[in-house]
C-alpha cells in the first residue's frame, strides 16, 4: 500500500511549508489521536492568492470556480500544517472539514465552493478521505480572503 506522501507525488502536489500564523495561534494541535488545524487561507508562497467575496455574475468579485480552487489551496495548506506537526503519513482518516466562504449578498453556493477541499481529500486519501463537513457563508474573512478551511483528522498512535 502506498503512503499519502507517495499519493501526493503521484498527483503532482507539493506541500509547502505550513503558512505562518497571522495572529496568536499555532497552525495545528494534536490532542490524543486527533489533529485540529487552524483555519487556513489560500496562501501561495507567503501571499494570499486571491481576495474578495464570492458571487456569481458580478465584476470585481471572486467567481465560484476561483473560490473552489482557493478552497483546494487552503486544504493543501492545512495538510502542510498537519505534515509539519505529525507527518502526513500518520493520518488514518479525515474526520471533518469546516469551510467558510466570504459571500456576497445572495450567494448560496458555499457547498460547491467547499467541494474544492472535499474533492482533493478524496483524491489523496480515497475512502479514508470521506468526511463530515460544514460549509458556512460569512460576511468577511481575515485579510479579505474568499475562503478559509479547517481540517480535523485522526492520526495513528504515537
Burial class (CB in 10 A: 0-12, 13-18, 19+), 128: middle
The CATH number given to whatever domain includes residue 59 is: 3.30.1330.40
Q: Taking the mean position of all CA atoms in its chain, how far away is CA 101?
A: 12
- Number of domains within the chain: 1
Residue 42 has pLDDT above 60, yes or no: yes
Between 156 and 18, residue with greater pLDDT = 156
Domain range for 47 is: 4-155
Q: Taking the mean position of all CA atoms in its chain, how far away is CA 72?
A: 6
Residue 59 has pLDDT above 90, yes or no: no
**CA–CA dist 137, 158 (Å, integer):** 37
Specify the pLDDT at position 60.
Answer: 63
Residues 46, 68, 15, 145: what is their CA dihedral angle, to the nearest 10 degrees?
Answer: 20
Query: Tell me: the pLDDT tens digits for 86-114?
Result: 999 999 999 999 999 999 999 999 999 99
31 DSSP β-pair partners: 34
Specify the pLDDT at position 1.
Answer: 45
* Confidence band, pLDDT 50/70/90 cuts, at residue 56: confident
Query: Tell me: the pLDDT tens digits for 12-40?
Result: 999 999 878 878 999 999 999 999 999 99
Specify the pLDDT at position 35.
Answer: 98
Specify the pLDDT at position 150.
Answer: 98
Amino acid at each position: 500500500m502506498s503512503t499519502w506522501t507517495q499519493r501526493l507525488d503521484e498527483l503532482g502536489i507539493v506541500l509547502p511549508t505550513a503558512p505562518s500564523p497571522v495572529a496568536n495561534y499555532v497552525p495545528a494541535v494534536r490532542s490524543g489521536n486527533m489533529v485540529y488545524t487552524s483555519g487556513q487561507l489560500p496562501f501561495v508562497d507567503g501571499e494570499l492568492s486571491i481576495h474578495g467575496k464570492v458571487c456569481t455574475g458580478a465584476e470585481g468579485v471572486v467567481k465560484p470556480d476561483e473560490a473552489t480552487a482557493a478552497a483546494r489551496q487552503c486544504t493543501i495548506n492545512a495538510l502542510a500544517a498537519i505534515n509539519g506537526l505529525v507527518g502526513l503519513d500518520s493520518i488514518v482518516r479525515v474526520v471533518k472539514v469546516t469551510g467558510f466562504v466570504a459571500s456576497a449578498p445572495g450567494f448560496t453556493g458555499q457547498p460547491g465552493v467547499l467541494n474544492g477541499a472535499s474533492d482533493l481529500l478524496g483524491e489523496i486519501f480515497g475512502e479514508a478521505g470521506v468526511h463530515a463537513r460544514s460549509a458556512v457563508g460569512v460576511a468577511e474573512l481575515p485579510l479579505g480572503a474568499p475562503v478559509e478551511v479547517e481540517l480535523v483528522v485522526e492520526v495513528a498512535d504515537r
